Structure 1
Amino acid sequence: MSRTYWDPTGAEFGIPTYPYRMAPNGLATRRQLAALGLRPGGQDIQAQIIWRRGKRVAYLYAIDQAKPKRAATTAQLVALERAMQARRTCPDCLRDVGYCLPKRYGTCLDCVEAA
């Protein structure tokens, strides 16, 4: 385990910095917060993790300061469903094919094969 990025005081990197898998308890990435049903909620970045020779960085947020995720409104859900339906509808055969059309072809795979 490399301690190259061990800087819990933030003296070298400006904010507390830890190597991969060595962050203290109580901090989480955005994805980890989302898995817990939380969001950063406007708080500042509390720390960071650096790995892969400095090429990868993950910012950490305090779990106790995080807020619950917001639920989408009915109008937002309707708009998302319409957008997804448009991505699934083939412009050639006008069918909802049940999957997002490949951008490469712009049509469903059945129409690509027929052409």
Structure 2
Amino acid sequence: MGRPRFWDPDGERFGLPTYPWRMAPAGLATRRQLRAAGLRPAGQDVAAQILWQNRRRGVRAAYLYRVDRARPVRPMTPARATALAAALRARRTCPQCGQDAGYVLPTRYGTCLPCADSAAAAA
């Protein structure tokens, strides 16, 4: 049958060591896998990639980082928690009526849905 389409562990064809879906060697992980383990990439470069074919989106890629170079996630400090809460509140606050919508405002309208509906009805 031959080798899989995206098998390039030396990086000769794709520039990075490349593996097919679910065939990456141990010791490499995606950002999401690192985060689930309580780790972060810590500034390291991408070590390898996984490529796979998707019917709708074409060829997809997931970048892999070395687990042995990853560091623990920085703890959430009170100042960072306050800043995060303020940023999320700003994403929920309608610039037109000034109310907290209770959801992240759709970028399509830039306002809460009641304000968008009233603007559409007036037009």
Number of residue pairs matched by the alignment = 115
Q: Which shifted more, 1-10 or 72-81?
A: 1-10
Q: Does 1:103 align with 2:104?
A: no
Instruction: Give 1:78's aligned residue.
Output: 82
Segments of 5+ residues of structure 1 without an aligned counterpart are none
Find the aligned partners of 2:107 and 2:46 in 1 and give their Cα distance.
36
Q: 1:62 to 1:91 in 2, by over 3 A?
A: closer
Find the aligned partners of 1:51 and 1:73 in 2 and give their Cα distance.
39
Aligned residue type for 1:79 = A
Aligned residue type for 2:100 = D
Segments of 5+ residues of structure 2 without an aligned counterpart are none
Q: Structure 2 matches for 1:32-47, cutoff 5 A?
A: 32-47=33-48
TM-score, normalised with respect to structure 1? 0.77
In the TM superposition, residue 102 of structure 1 has moved relative to its aligned partner by: 2.2
TM-score, normalised with respect to structure 2? 0.73
Seq. identity, %: 61
Q: Which of 44, 66, 75 is equivalent to 2:70?
A: 66
